[in-house]
Structure 1
Amino acid sequence: MMATTWTFKIDWNKDGDFDDSNEDVSARVLQASWFLGFREPYQDVADNSVLTLVVRNNDRLFSPENSSGALYGLLLPFRAVRVESFDGTTTRIHWVGRIESIQPMVSANGQRTAQIVAAGVMHLYKAAETQLALQENKRTDEIIAELIKEVVIPPAGNQAWILGVEGSSNAGQSTYMSDVTTYSVLEQGKTSFTLTGDNWVRQGGFADAEKDTFDVYHAIADVVGAERGRFFLNREGKAIFWNRHHLLYDVAPTVTFSDDMMGMTYTYAGVNSLKNEVIVVCHPRTVSASSTEILWQLQDDVIVVEPGQTRKVYVKFQDEKASRIGGKDVTLTDVTFAYGSASYTINAKANGAELVFTNDGNGEPAVVQTAIVRGKKITTYNRIEAKAQDQTSMSFYGRRTMRLNLPGLSALEQAQYVADFELLRRKQPRGEVSSLALVSHGKSGGEYHAQQLALTIGSSIAISESQTGHNRRYFIIGEAHELAQGATLWKTTWHLESAPDPVIVGGTNINPFPWELNATDHSKLGESTYLTY
């Protein structure tokens, strides 16, 4: 095997090529560590991806306020970062994200290094309040796609087309029209939701407290949790959605570890894994018959629109008790002016609306005195709980309860499916490996170096450990890496989730597929497949 070459690049000038002066910082990297994916089994939405680089800074190249430095004015957040390896045959991307902070160590007599921290885009999802239009009869992946569109993600370089930005608006030349596929790969969901977005509101708290709408991250977590799917960032920095069947398929292990791993975290019947009572809270909705219900009205205030200006106002739907509600078939009515006049439109969302007033006149301001937003009220009343229990497990191991609150679910039947599904995979005690550690020479290879390079989230492995008697298949769900000592020491920790248990068919243990109607090799119920939901 040829030596592995590691490359660390930062697109300082945002031109998308990583080939300009000082953009390859590999020779300056003293230590690198990065993480992506999930840390816990059955986690719905992954943690954010993080990269930390410790680089030489004896010439103050990475000191942002060093005005004589070659990178002065370019050491800024949101610059794209990429980690790659080349083993003589294959070039692999291991991590992609954007700079969050640059911290030079102080004192000319000190270490003279700098720490560069980069992250994936999950924090952007958390920073953006969703104003999604009401989603009706949409699958999980379709809703996620709409949510991703709400987040302004800085493009890697100027490859995405941005109207009015010099160097970023030459469509078809140096840029392309960006859409959701630029940032994501979304598997078709197995769950369809009757209504989504109307109840994405944090209720409760003090009477005068703002009832905030969910951020995009929280909204994605809601629908992914209801689907029992997975949402994470992959090595290329793209958002990935897997439906709930993805990790139920039988996948042959790429490699088997038999007492030759560097480290392994093993537990039997862990507190967080053994559950024999599962409660799922669903949120039934009521839609009013009349489309003239008052969702919001202008009271005790006015909206002033200056001549030649457009004024946008975002309003949030409420009922007569000031509780946040959703709306359908929304219109703007009863608009009157104390002075002047203006044209107006409404852009309805699931639980609010954007009102747009335009004063085309050159004289006096337009003063909006009254305005009413009407439509059908979508109200979430009493929550309903679906429950699944295993009395035998409870009698042997005590009552161990898991509770899921899923605003996206409105039907009790769907909630019961989720409860039954979670109980089935958690009710029996068993041994599980939550993480496995490997080490190799970061350049010369050896040991499991090839697997450290190639295996990532979704890869299948098998573990056989004689001291515990453990023998089981796993999926990698998270990966943490550390390169140190001049990239000669490479430590990898894989976070793991057990593959589905084999079942006995005709006296033989098999790992079956979930049953799917009209699917080749997946519709032979009781032979190579089993019922799921």
Structure 2
Amino acid sequence: MTTYHVWIDTADDGQPAAQGDISADVVALDWRLGMARAYENISAPASARVTVRNWGGAHSPERGTLERGQFLRITSTDGATSRTHFSGFIERVEPTAGEGGERLAHIIAHGADAGLRAQSVSLPPLLDVTADAVIAAVLAACRWRLYPSAPYCLIDVDGRSTIDASTVYGEDGIERDLQGGISRFAYVGDTWRDGVPAWSAISEAVNSERGRFFIDRDGRAVFHNRHHTMTEPTVSATLTDDMHDLRYVYGDAISNEVTVNVRPRRVGLPDDIVWTLASPQRIPAGRVQTLRAIYHRADGQPTGALDVAHPLPYTHYSATQTAHPASADRTIALEITMQASAANATLRIRNTGTSDVYLQELTLRGTPLQSGDPVALILSDAVGIALYGLRPSRVDLPQVSSVEEAERIGLYELNRRKQPRGRVVAVTLWTASHPAALDIVLFDRVRIEEAQTGHAAEYLVIGEAHTVQRGGTRHHIEWTLEPADDDVYFVVDRADIGGDRLILPF
């Protein structure tokens, strides 16, 4: 029999302990990982909901030890195999009120991707890079919940300000498994104006690569390049007319005209003006003011920039004693430091003097990286349109500047979806009859055979949703599925030469 365990790291030390095991109080478990629909490149938010008995109030945060941000893990074991199903952090706790009521508490946890959706990033110019390098740079630029935090010194936190007994600086970050990308992007980050959500920055890279990004069961950030699913042929499970439920549809995912949008870039001349201060600014004595300079051309149009020079007194900026530009010069009182990204610069302006000064002029100079007019490539299957009607789709490639590569990506999308076919959208199982399903993880391959529809094909498990009830005796799994692409394209050692399969265009 499979037993389930829920552990909450109330000590925040990363070491499983009996006091954090709340399994005995668990009434129900629900969790979800992976993509919401077929052909999506980036996963939906990972989440879990743990319902527990709260008779004594131990799971009410104001009475017990539960706290937002604590690490939560769901595992199971059947005596022979132990497996992790979900790893994340408590987002909130919802205890029911009333001592005479049902006295339950709902513990809501989110995956590490919640941190990516909550913050904005700007990056230095990334030149000639692959998607995995972009993702790594975005992850490094994010501010993460420090876990475990117990070994580290936290100033002004009771019991944690022990510099002589603790590690002063922790390594903030997220575990990752990033496969090398195929496409190379000439310029990245130059269109992110005032910064973009970290999740959007990653999404741009993943969509432009046509790869996949998701949070796995261990809470790691995982990236697969676009060839991954076609080079992993092992079928992990076969289901033949023994599913609890199956959702099948024919012809819904067809696309016989693909519009691919790209934005070419052009590099300007070096030492050009990429930003100027619009009006004088008062800098109070002894204070530091922070400005975000969003690069723009002389005509006001946005631009990216390379090699932005650090501002120097009199060369790039000047200051006076009063707001009048002809008043006494006070430039020497200002110290300016700059952190430049590809689309903007953060300027810290410090007044070292004993009286207020007015920053009259400030200019940033560098090499403009200008976005050209958008280019839309349209690729069509004329025969398919004549037979099945027009079914258009759009692919945005924000980090691809090569029209040639954009065309190859468009052909890939057109070829794999131009013909109508039947597909299984999702399948549901009970683990009582399919215990091996517990070991199927995201992007494992399964084969589905169903007699009533006459359908038989291989699929990728791109999403998994679980519900556990009745002390673990009822475990319901729903897999979100996507057709495996290797039935469209020729793969060496797995298809005969001369068949109807296509050569991969990239």
Residues 1:64 and 2:61 are matched in the alignment: yes
Give, in angstroms, the shift of residue 286 of structure 1.
1.9
Which amino acid in the other structure matches residue 16 of structure 1? G
Q: Does 1:302 align with 2:281?
A: yes
Give deviations 1:164-212, integer Å, cap 9, x for gaps.
68759989987996375x42110000011101111134xxxxxxxxxx5
In the superposition, relative to structure 1, how do residues 453 and 79 fare at CA in structure 2: closer, same or farther (>3 Å)? same
Partner of 2:198: 216
Does residue 9 of the first structure (1) align with residue 2 of the second (2)? no
Structure 1 contact 345–356 (Cα < 8 Å) conserved: yes
The change in CA–CA distance for 1:325 and 1:48 in structure 2 (over 3 A counts) is same
Q: Distance in 1 between matches of 2:122 and 2:263?
A: 20
5 Å-filtered alignment, 1:475-514, equals 475-502=460-487, 512-513=490-491
Query: Which shows bigger deviation, 78-87 or 118-127?
Result: 118-127
How does 1:367-446 map onto structure 2 within 5 Å?
A: 367-441=358-432
Instruction: Tell me: CA distance 1:170–1:185, structure 2 relative to 1, closer, same or farther (3 Å).
Output: farther
Note if 1:276 corresponds to 2:273. Answer: no
For residue 197 of structure 1, what is the amino acid of its counterpart? G
Within a 5 Å distance, the mapping from 1:28-67 to structure 2 comes to: 28-65=25-62
Instruction: Return the alpha-carbon distance in structure 2 between the equivalents of residues 185 and 406 of structure 1.
Output: 23
Deviations along 1:389-420, whole A, 9 cap, x unmatched? 11111001000000122221211112111110
Aligned-residue offset at 1:224:
0.6
2:133 is matched with which residue? 142
Amino acid at match of 1:483: V
* Structure 1 residue aligned with 2:327: none
Corresponding residue to 1:473 among 458, 461, 482 = 458
* 1:99-138 correspondence to structure 2 within 5 Å: 99-138=90-129
Q: Secondary structure at the match of 1:402?
A: strand
Show the counterpart of 2:324.
none
Q: Answer whether contact 1:171 1:177 (CA < 8 A) is retained.
A: no
Quote how far apart the aligned CAs of 1:133 are.
0.9
The answer as to whether partners of 1:385 and 1:412 remain within 8 angstroms in 2 is no
How far has the Cα of 1:364 moved from its partner? 3.2
Query: Match for 2:293: what amino acid?
Result: V
Under a length normalisation based on structure 1, what TM-score does the superposition of the two structures give? 0.85
Instruction: Flag the 1:467–1:159 CA change in 2: closer, same or farther, 3 A.
Output: farther
Unpaired segments ≥5 residues, structure 1: 202-211, 442-446, 504-510, 515-520
2:178 matched residue in structure 1: 186
- Could you report, residue by residue, the CA deviation over 1:44-98 in whole angstroms, capped at 9, with x for unpaired residues? 1100101001111111112233xxx3x2xx4322111101112212221110011
Report Cα offsets for 1:131-168 as digits up to 9, x if no partner.
11111111110011001112212133227867868759
Deviations 1:417-473 (A, max 9, x none): 1110000100001110111111034xxxxx211x22211102111111111111101
Distance apart, 1:214 and its partner CA: 2.1
- The 5-angstrom pairing of residues 240-255 of structure 1 reads 240-255=222-237
Instruction: Report the counterpart of residue 353 of structure 1 in structure 2.
Output: 345
Aligned residue identity for 2:27: L
Aligned to 1:314: 292
CA drift of 1:267 comes to 0.5
Residues in 1 aligned to 2:146 and 2:168: alpha-carbon distance in whole angstroms: 10
The corresponding residue for 1:506 is: none
Work out whether residues 161 and 171 of structure 1, in 8 Å CA contact, stay in contact via their aligned partners in 2: no
CA contact (8 A) 2:152 2:166 kept: no
Query: Is contact 1:52-1:118 (8 Å) kept?
Result: yes
* 2:69 pairs with 1:78: yes
Q: Could you tell me how far apart the structure 1 residues matched to 2:165 and 2:229 are?
A: 39
Q: In structure 2, how many angstroms separate the alpha carbons of the residues matched to 1:440 and 1:92?
A: 14
CA distance in 1, matches of 2:155, 2:392: 55
Residue 324 of structure 1 is aligned with which of 292, 302, 316?
302
How many aligned positions are there? 489
Deviation at 1:327, TM superposition (A): 1.0
- Give the TM-score taking structure 2 as reference length: 0.90
SS of 2:410 mapped into structure 1: helix
Q: Paired residue for 1:204? A: none
Q: Does 1:226 align with 2:192?
A: no
CA distance in 2, matches of 1:312, 1:171: 34
Return 393-402 or 336-345, whichever deviates more.
336-345
SS in 2 for 1:237: coil
C-alpha distance in 1 between matches for 2:307 and 2:121: 19
Deviations 1:338-379 (A, max 9, x none): 244122222210110011234455x33454332111112222
Q: Is the 8 A contact 1:160 1:168 kept in 2?
A: no
**Does the CA contact (< 8 Å) of 2:129 and 2:184 recur in 1?**
yes
1:247–1:400: structure 2 CA closer, same or farther, 3 Å change rule? same
Pairwise CA RMSD = 2.8
Whichever residue aligns with residue 275 of structure 1, its letter is S
Partner Cα separation in structure 1 for residue 206 and residue 50 of structure 2:
32
Q: The residue matched to 2:149 in structure 1 has which SS?
A: coil
What CA distance in whole angstroms lies between the structure 1 residues aligned with 2:407 and 2:95?
54
For 1:126 and 1:469, the matched residues in 2 are separated by 42
Distance in 2 separating the partners of 1:429 and 1:132: 42
Distance 1:219 1:168 in 2: 36
Amino acid at match of 2:120: E
- Cα–Cα, structure 1 residues 6 and 132, in superposed 2: closer, same or farther, change >3 Å? same
For the structure 1 residues 406 and 161, does the alpha-carbon distance in structure 2 shift closer, same or farther, using more than 3 Å as the test?
farther
SS at match of 1:486: helix
Question: Does structure 2 retain, via aligned residues, the 8 Å contact 1:338–1:369?
Answer: yes
Q: Report how far residue 476 of structure 1 moved.
A: 0.9
